[in-house]
Amino acid sequence: MAARLCCLRGLLRAVGPRPFSAQASPLQAEQRGTKRPEPSSAKTLLDIGTRRIFSSDHDIFRESARKFFQEEVLPFHAEWEKDGQVSRELWEKAGQQGLLGVAIAEKHGGIGADILSSAVVWEEQMYVNCTGPGFSLHSDIVMPYIANYGSEEQIKRFIPEMITGKRIGAIAMTEPGAGSDLQGIRTYAKKDGNDWILNGSKVFITNGWMSDVVIVVAVTNREARSPAHGISLFLVENGTKGFIKGRKLNKIGLKAQDTAELFFEDVRLPASALLGKENKGFYYLMAELPQERLLIADMALASCEFMFEETRNYVKQRKAFGKTVADLQTVQHKLAEMKTQICVGRAFLDNCLQLHADKRLDSPTASMAKYWASDLQSSIATQCVQLHGGWGYMWEYPIAKAFVDSRVQPIYGGTNEIMKELIARDIVSDK
């Protein structure tokens, strides 16, 4: 494992920012991807070696990630759907393969690659249509909070084992009465000497059932001039007295992804459980949410690419009226419309990914990406099921699973209605 991770670190360090010169050499041009084919002109939307934001080093990493998901995830996913969770063994295999915490700095025990390398992992998971593993939330939502705001002690305690997959992370924001409105949170932590006493409940928590450490969002100052000024984050470990995991929720989709209710009943936490500074939690959330929304958007677009290729292959084989369905002009036009929409979306998403790699992605733009891509995913899913006919409604067909899995995308990470509010607020603001 150590040798593999060292090899990956050497490879992925090479994909970091490169100096730009007015007269780029052929090698520099290739490395920046200026000679790479666009998805619209590639043989398929899943081809390796396309898209200008990536380099040949990213391609090598993508080949490794693709092999992992095809061999270690896809064959077992149907069984995990019945179990309502993936296996612990899978998490450790992902760690051994160097697929967890890819963008976490080397000094913290991570691979030290760029966010584009993380995107490779997000996309390859969607290209096998397997939504069970909560790797993206663990690696690119939970771990950055610890790496960016945690103490040296917290980083050393949690990050190395999260990188290896031996410790699974979750974040608990949503409550029965507070979803997209983070300022409506009721979970409360009060001081008791040097300790904190945590009470409340959370719902719809991805990785919740299997979690070993949970970042809990709680109110710590009920007298603050606004709810935003009185929220803090806490690291709560599995097994802590009073921390109770409720049932695994029975969802219409994401069947293999464990999603749970969490309860906190007089949970006593030491001062060292506070993540970052007291009453600064809301600001940490606002700083990290753009990456979460970009992640959702990119996985949504990757799902669109998968569904399109799955449907293209189906209609070219399915016979109707003495010829293939793909020979029907109405079907050809539908495929043309979908591919155009997906390629337009991909161009915008790749721009957002590059902006984020350059640390220039702002919240309104991330909100645009999340709203647009997840709405497109729902639309593409509906159209692809239609082109499959009755078979598209059968669970054993991949498109059926993609259809039900797509429905939650416009809801979590902030509903698309909230995304539009954030975009509109920026538009009409005088600032």
Please report the pLDDT score of residue 255 as a whole number.
97
Q: Annotated catalytic, 92?
A: no
Parallel, antiparallel or unpaired: strands 188-192 and 195-206:
antiparallel
Give the CA angle between residues 35, 40, 42 to the nearest 5°: 65
Helix (H) / strand (E) element for 259: namely strand 259-269
Indicate the SS3 state at residue 199. strand
Catalytic residue among 292, 305, 337, 417: 292
Over the chain (431 residues), what is each successive 10-residue block's mean pLDDT? 54 47 39 77 97 97 98 98 97 97 93 97 98 98 98 97 98 87 89 97 97 98 91 98 96 97 98 98 95 98 98 96 94 98 98 98 97 98 98 97 98 95 95 74
Are 186 and 194 contacting, i.e. CB atoms less than 8 angstroms apart? no
CA 261 to chain centre: 20
Q: How far apart are CA 423 and CA 369, in angstroms?
A: 11
Please report the pLDDT score of residue 98 as a whole number.
96
Indicate the SS3 state at residue 219. strand
Residue with the two structure tokens 């054993």: 396
Residues 6 or more apart from 425 whose CB is under 8 A from it? Answer: none
C-alpha to C-alpha distances, 268 to 155, 192, 244, 272, 396, nearest whole angstrom: 21, 9, 13, 12, 46
Indicate the SS3 state at residue 276. coil
Please report the pLDDT score of residue 26 as a whole number.
41
Please report the pLDDT score of residue 20 as a whole number.
28
Please report the pLDDT score of residue 227 as a whole number.
83
The secondary structure of residue 178, as a DSSP letter, is: B
Parallel, antiparallel or unpaired: strands 274-275 and 259-269:
unpaired
Please report the pLDDT score of residue 366 as a whole number.
98
Q: How far apart are CA 423 and CA 52, in angstroms?
A: 27
Please report the pLDDT score of residue 17 as a whole number.
40
The secondary structure of residue 123, as a DSSP letter, is: H
- Best CA proximity match to 363, nearest among 413, 424, 418, 422: 422
